[in-house]
């Protein structure tokens, strides 16, 4: 059949995790990025849309 070629990789792969939400009325996507999939990522994900919508409501956007 043939021989496989060796492919060099840049090293250890790093994992990144995303959490996001889509506003169905505006189509706007808000997201956060983290090093691990844990409760902190969820809390950051929950707080970002809340602060965004609060700024819009208060006329600061």
Q: Which of 54, 56, 32, 52 is nearest to 44 (CA)?
A: 32
Question: Distance between CA atoms of 58 and 8, rounded to whole angstroms?
Answer: 53
Q: Are 34 and 40 in contact (CB under 8 A)?
A: yes
pLDDT classification of 61: cutoffs 50, 70, 90: low
Two structure tokens written together for 44: 């950051």
pLDDT higher at 41 or 13: 41
pLDDT classification of 8: cutoffs 50, 70, 90: confident
**What pLDDT is stored for residue 4 in this prediction?**
87
pLDDT higher at 42 or 50: 42
Question: Distance between CA atoms of 12 and 10, rounded to whole angstroms?
Answer: 7
The helix/strand count (H/E) of the chain reads as 1, 2
pTM: predicted TM-score of the whole model, two decimal places: 0.51
**What pLDDT is stored for residue 1 in this prediction?**
66
């Amino acid at each position: 059949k043939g021989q496989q070629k060796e492919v060099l990789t840049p090293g250890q792969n790093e994992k990144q995790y995303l959490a996001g939400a889509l506003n169905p009325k505006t189509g706007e996507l808000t997201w956060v990025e983290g090093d691990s999939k844990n409760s902190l990522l969820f809390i950051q994900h929950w707080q970002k849309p809340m602060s965004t919508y609060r700024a819009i409501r208060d006329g600061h956007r």
